[in-house]
Chain A
Amino acid sequence: MKKVIYLDNAATTKVNEEVLKEMLPYFTEVYSNPSAVYSFAAEGKKAVMEARNQVASVIGAKPEEIYFTGGGSESDNWALKAAAEAYAEKGRHIITTKIEHHAILHTCEYLENKGFEITYLDVDSDGRISLEELEKAIRPDTILVSVMTANNEIGTVEPIAEIGRIAHEKGTLFHTDAVQAYGHIPINVDDMNIDMLSASGHKFNGPKGIGVMYIRKGIKIRSFIHGGAQERGRRAGTSNVPGIVGIGKAAALADKTMNERIKKEVKLRDYLISRIENEIPYAKLNGHRTDRLPNNVNFCFRFIEGESLLILLDQQGICASSGSACTSGSLDPSHVLLAIGLPHEIAHGSLRLTLSDETTKEEIDFVVDELKKIVERLRSMSPLYEDFLKNNAK
């Protein structure tokens, strides 16, 4: 297999070797069910406690406020559905944004069918919501505001602390989908007025299939998965001990290396952005230029389509992603790109490159060099580009 340049770290990340090492004994050696009484179970129980501490400490939470789930989507479903159910007597209105992940948006659709009313806040051309609009949208019957910490496609970071403050001033709960942000940028649940938070292990070099739900003490959210008494009775199911140990270790490592990693990734990210902007015409950066995830680069290349771009990049060993219709399985391009105001035909030509702390400048240079050739080649066979050139010649 030829060398792979993996620039799709927003999709998933490589499990850190140290994380894997930490997990392995919990498959074949310490395989006991931590809920059991015998002493053989104690070690697993201890490991789960340790992981809970590790995960909590990254966001300034208490360990008893951390619940392990099956992943980010489960956490998002839980937050919305259970909050809706728990607070339905107070009201049936929920506020979210147009650029949330589908785990939020499709859950909102589900709740709409159950009689809840959802307000989907607009975003500006950088992908940020307006705090004034949020304030205006909150009503006496609003029970929950759910806004993502950072967007998975365009990397824009939302003003979470202010959103939380406004929600609390108006007496409503605040949930944030921090799946892309946890372990990547600093988050503090107290400073940012966060009541509930979703995170996912595999987005920060932990294993897949394990997620986190933070629920502030005192919030009356009920069980989502019914069964045994695991996770203080709020999330039944035998504890996924290796996964929990993995996400704990990954959280601790991500926290320890965060500042250094941010510096390194931002430098490389901005280098990649500037090379593309300087060397590829008719390319537009999507998302906020500075308030964006350290590892996220997202561009639209006019006159070409994203899937074609991905296949040709793949042939050079480059893994990337796109918000084109063809990659979403529908006729519409990404809802995020449409929400920031891009016309359909431009949104079809999007490319997302997400770095890791292992990404090198040499890789970035190779990617830009190949990208230049590929964009030029696809444009040379694009009728849109042909028309554009002819119109310009007139």
Chain B
Amino acid sequence: MYSEKVIDHFTNPRNVGEIENASGVGTVGNAKCGDIMRIYFDIDENQVIRDVKFKTFGCGAAVATSSMATELVKGKTVNEALEVTNKAVMEALDGLPPVKVHCSLLAEQAIHAALWDYAEKNGIVIEGLEKPVTDIGETVEEEEY
């Protein structure tokens, strides 16, 4: 079902984790649908993404696209990162099954959400960046088992 690259990025995901006091954090997806991605950026004064981390709740493709998306934006400028599309993520993973294409869209949205957060925090406008739809849905309900 999955390409070798997808399995590789799922099994050995790059850049998993959190960044404290991140320059930008974006969370997208919806637990109801089974996918949530959160991307953290550490961006320097030249608007270069120095470090990037992610956390993802979701299927193999969700994790793999998050991993690949972080690899593709790492070391890039904010404007270059904006050009990383879901297609680029998919191509870099040697493709995804049709039902999993939405995972790559989620990865693109997660990047945009983190960039948006960075822009807001710094009071700047990133040309071409639209306010992302986060659609986080409901937060996890606290339930006792």
Contact = CB atoms under 8 A, between A and B. Distances in A.
A373 to B, nearest CB: 13
Contact of B31 (A284, A308, A344): A344
B24 to A, nearest CB: 15
B11 A308 contact: no
Interface residues of A, number: 34
B62 A305 contact: yes
Contacts, number: 86
Interface in B77-97: none
Contact of B60 (A307, A343, A384, A385): A307
A340 B27 CA distance: 29
A312 B138 CA distance: 27
B59 A324 contact: yes
Interface string A303-328: 11111100110010000000011100
Contacts of A311: 7, 10-11, 60
A38 interface: no
B38 interface: yes
B13 A282 contact: no
A350 to B, nearest CB: 11
A382 interface: yes
Contact of A343 (B38, B141, B145): B141
Nearest to B142: A391
Contacts of B124: none
B136 to A, nearest CB: 10
Given A382-B55, A383-B38, A331 B11 contact: no
Given A305-B57, A381-B63, A384-B36, A345 B31 contact: yes
Given A348-B34, A383-B57, 6 more contacts: A333-B34, A344-B31, A345-B140, A381-B54, A382-B57, A386-B38
